[in-house]
Amino acid sequence: MARLSDDFIREIKYRNDLGELAASYMQLKRRGRNLVGLCPFHGEKTPSFNIYTENGSFYCFGCGTGGDVITFAMKIENLDYMEAVKFLAERAGMSLPEDAYDDSLGKLRTRIYEANREAARFFYQKLVSPEGSEALSYLRQRGLADRTIRHFGLGYAPDERFALGNHLRQRGFTESELITANLVFKSRSGNSVLDRFYNRVMFPIIDVRGNVIAFGGRIMTDQKPKYLNTSDTPVFNKSNNLFSLNNAKNSKSDALILCEGYMDVISLNQAGFTNAVATLGTALTPDQAALMKRYCKEVIICYDADEAGQNATVRAIDILRRVGLIVKVISIPDGKDPDEFIRRHGDKGHAAFQNVLDNSGNDMDYRMQKLRSGYDMNTPQGKLGYLTEGVRLLCELDNPMERDIYASRLSDETDVAKSSILEQIKNGMKRRSYNRRKSDFSQIQKDISARDDRVNPQHAAYLRAATAEENLIAFLVNNPDKLTYIHEKLRPEDFTTDFNRKLFEYFSKRILNQQDPMTALASDFTSDEQSKIVRMVNAGSDMPRTVQALDEYIAVILEEKSKPTENEIRNSTQDEFTDLFSRLKDNHQ
């Protein structure tokens, strides 16, 4: 299988500056030679995402994600390696070499996209056929116009167990491809392959590039489960996708309306609110919040008014605030969901919902109101409970003016002096600050001890050796002209940890072949390995670049390698033990 040449990958990277690409998804600020910003891959308030302009790599100190421009494209667009290369090539106006390889995963993902697209066509054709009359009637009774049904590509999975599978096999798809796409599954006996969806109204889930990546199916009776969704596949993960984001990203609004279900989103779209999205059968995740941050500044939560919906709202507020989004909460009159509310108002649905939007409060108003409803304000105990919880909530606010406003409100509601409330907030924030510093210190200790190093599990057991090895590798990558000097004093077998030995051999080989050490990281290492390498190399770029420093790394590596292992000591004879002891003594003289 042919491999993309280093020259081609180097040209891809040259024409796709990492800083410029990242800036199209996030805000960046210059800090010295580097660029920093809020990480697009996890929620954070303080910028931890660093772009190292000298070598075109990135690393986030918050979530530990790192790599190069190809890795960034893979993660930000949910692509595999070859798809990311194609994406960047098209962006730069380049053509892939004729002998470029397309790995098996890339081909499989393409087949799954094709199978899903064909399945969506199949479901729609069934919906508008006599066989789907009941499902079409159901959707129309739910207030959906035919143009809305067509726009969302809604469909019907017939009340058969083999219809879709047989149709797709006739279109050339293999049983293995359909199982991997989660369109069919093997029966418990293993004797037959059954359709995953049957006798359900179907909702295609489409990504921001227009690919059908999954389906949701709603049963038309009171049977459970009401909704059935595609499980995770090579092209779909329910925790980092949103229903109808492909439509919402094209709306002219700076806000997204976050709903609970497909029908809520579709009804809002039909009423003119095209900026509505929904989670996919799960509670809101930090990945989904980070995804929304790319397309909006504000999220308006529009969940059901029941207890489950209110609890989900509180959890969502915390997640959305953590990624730096402005949050508002809609309270729909009479406890209706958006779909019911709009249908109830008929032709005036748009104006009625717009009025609800205009009167929505921010997330703190919602949380304070919900908090107060849990206490009897006519009793001293109730007031004290509300005050205690209210102060704890205000301690979470970073904006001092916002804290002051809500402290005034808390004072008015409880007849307690505002100065007393502010003093309690001050003490609470001191405790939070202390706990945060304690947590940060614990994390630093954990990082230094390397207890959680999944890539190099030997790191913690051989801390001194592994640290010296990492410093030497970073030195080598940043100073490839010193390879001969290092090879005169050090061999791969002198390394104590297997992963670092592998890196030393890898970078040495590339430098000997006059190749840039970092060019092929995305194709030659896993995501976790890339992250570790990028952090190692860029930390090393700030280390002393003198021959004296290099000699110290080499000396430590050789000294640590010469130390006897526990097994050697445990299994040694008296003479061997004496020899081992002498070696240790010599090394420390």
Of 88-102, 117-131, 220-234, the range with the lowest mean pLDDT is: 88-102
pLDDT tens string 295-348? 898 999 999 878 888 889 999 999 998 888 999 999 887 767 888 899 988 888
**Tokens 């990203």 map to which residue?**
249
Q: What average pLDDT does this structure show over 395-403?
A: 88
263-273 confidence digits (pLDDT tens): 999 999 999 99
CB 109 within 8 A of CB 136: no
Examine the pLDDT at 564 and tell me if it is beyond 70. no
User: Rounded to whole angstroms, what are the CA distances from 42 to 74, 137, 286, 532?
Assistant: 15, 42, 6, 18
Contacts of 521 (CB under 8 A, 6+ apart): 57, 67, 68, 71, 530, 533, 534
Q: Judge whether 77 lies within some domain.
A: yes
Q: State yes or no: pLDDT of 546 exceeds 80.
A: yes
Do 111 and 232 lie in one domain? The reply is yes
Same domain, residue pair 232 and 249: no
Q: What is the mean pLDDT of residues 425-446?
A: 76
Same domain, 432 and 349: no
- pLDDT above 50 (res 473): yes
> Quick check: is 451 in a domain?
no
Cα–Cα distance, 106 to 110 (Å, whole number) = 6
Of the chain, the percentage scoring pLDDT greater than 90 comes to 61
Residue 446 forms part of a structural domain: no
Query: 298 and 198: one domain?
Result: no
- Read off the pTM: 0.77
Same domain, 357 and 379: no
Q: 357 and 257 in one domain?
A: yes
Q: Domain boundary at 363, 383, 412, which?
A: 363
Higher pLDDT, 346 or 453: 346
Tell me the residue range of the domain where 337 lies. Answer: 245-363
What pLDDT score was predicted for residue 570?
58
Q: In sequence order, what DSSP letters do the residues of 381-446 get, joined into one string?
A: HHHHHHHHHHHHHHTT---HHHHHHHHHHHHHHHT--HHHHHHHHHHHHHHHHHHHHHHHHHHHHH
Domain boundary among 210, 236, 262: 236
Q: Which of 203, 236, 269 is the last residue of a domain?
A: 236
Does residue 199 sit within a domain? yes
Q: How far apart are alpha carbons 66 and 72 in whole angstroms?
A: 8
Residue 262, C-beta contacts closer than 8 angstroms, at least 6 positions apart: 203, 216, 218, 227, 243, 278
Burial class (CB in 10 A: 0-12, 13-18, 19+), 17: middle
Integer Cα distance of 376 and 385 in angstroms: 9
Q: Strand 298-302 to strand 255-259: parallel, antiparallel, or no bridges (unpaired)?
A: parallel
At 540 the pLDDT is 60
Could you give the number of structural domains in the chain?
5
Q: Could you tell me the CATH number of the domain that includes residue 217? A: 3.90.980.10
Q: Which CATH number is 572's domain given?
A: 1.10.860
Determine phi and psi for 61, rounding to 5 degrees: -80, -5
- Cα pseudo-dihedral 435, 439, 441, 445, rounded to 10: 150
For 146-192, the pLDDT digits (tens) are 999 999 999 999 999 999 999 999 999 999 999 999 999 998 887 89
Q: Which is more confidently placed, 95 or 115?
A: 115
- The torsion of the CA quartet 438, 444, 450, 452, rounded to 10 degrees, works out to 50
What is the chain's alpha carbon radius of gyration, rounded to the nearest angstrom? 29
Q: What is the pLDDT of residues 573-587, one digit of tens each?
A: 665 556 555 555 554
Same domain, 171 and 260: no
Task: Kindly tell me if the per-residue pLDDT of 534 is higher than 70.
Answer: yes
- Length of the chain (residues): 589
pLDDT-based confidence at 566, cuts 50/70/90? low
Residue 98 lies in a domain: no
Report if residue 447 sits inside a domain.
Answer: no
